[in-house]
Amino acid sequence: MIFDEFSPPKTSETSEPVDERRWDSLGFNPVQTDYMYVMKTSEDGNFTNGGLRHYGNIEMIPSAAVLNYGQGIIEDLKAYKKQNGSIILFRPEENGLRMRIGAERMCMPAPTIKQFVEAVKSTVLANKRWVPPANKGCLHIRPLLLGNGPVLSVTPAPEFTFLIYVTPVGRYFEGGLKPINLVVEDVTHRATPGGVGNIKAIGNYAGILKAQAAGKANGFSDVLYLDSVHNRYLEEVSTANIFVVKDNTISTPVLEGTILPGITRKGIISIAHSQGFQVEERLVSVEELFDADEVLCSGNAVGVLPVGSITYKNKRVDYGESGFIIYERLSSALTNIQMGLTEETKGWTTVVE
């Protein structure tokens, strides 16, 4: 991978405000912003001397490990603009830690958590004109860790690059906050025991595209996957964790190496405890869906969403006849923290400016 020699661009070069009309039509597609952050490993294998570059194409050699063998990690987090104009992040240190855990599994060096958070802050500040106004969307932040050094045999790359780009986004699903309709996939599995389902390895997502496309072609919003051993226990949706509500108990699949430890998931569990719910992290069978009061999913991209229906083996169960009371309580509490609408006592938010 080749970049021009580092010379920090003057971020004031592009300080004109973004056309306000853009915020009303935001979807979940990439929008070219102004700057990206790049940091490479030095000869000792550590990350040093990172900095901003103008956003643009990158050049990569054909023998790069990430292209040949998928040696790469992604992360996702968001920046929100408060009513007073300040910008906040939601638990960025958790993303930095998760990247380090994933990197260790993939035989990659990773930035320290401090480097990660500071790089995120720098990138957001450089692109602050792209942070949507409060209640209009948010700035999606995509850190990448890439094995860009040349390899031919199956071996770790000799060189690595850490890169961050950002893009303003609206809701992940076209329906916004409307309940989504899921179909249970019992043929394709997103992860296997001993694999990399519990980290954000870049190859994890391409393997589910076919099942997801088939589900959407049949009118479903997304796909809910089962475990690959028993083909019975819930794992997660394509890009989200799942919660099943029955009475005062909220159950979510236990983390046993095949499920991504979502940061939004972690927040929902904490909030549910504080609101007096009994939270169980355990094996949750697909049959329990048909007796549930509510089902909801959570993730950085989707936020927190209610599930309106789930179809399994051509049998459909609908939710929400009496409303989505538990979803509304949990989602409201979490969203208010993420957007800075309530006093923050958990230490979950970081002010960028």
The β-bridge relationship of strands 241-246 and 294-299 is antiparallel
Residues 6+ apart with CB under 8 A from 337: 90, 267, 344, 346, 348, 349
Instruction: Give whole-number Cα distances, 352 to 5, 43, 81, 92, 178, in Å.
Output: 27, 32, 10, 11, 31
Phi/psi at 329 (5° precision): -65, -45
Q: Are 169 and 44 in contact (CB under 8 A)?
A: no
Q: Are 184 and 226 in contact (CB under 8 A)?
A: yes
**Residue numbers annotated as active site:** 200
Q: Retrieve residue 119's tokens.
A: 């790089």
Instruction: Give whole-number Cα distances, 220 to 181, 185, 288, 317, 332, in Å.
Output: 5, 12, 20, 13, 25
Of the candidates 143, 168, 165, the residue with the CA atom closest to the CA atom of residue 75? 143
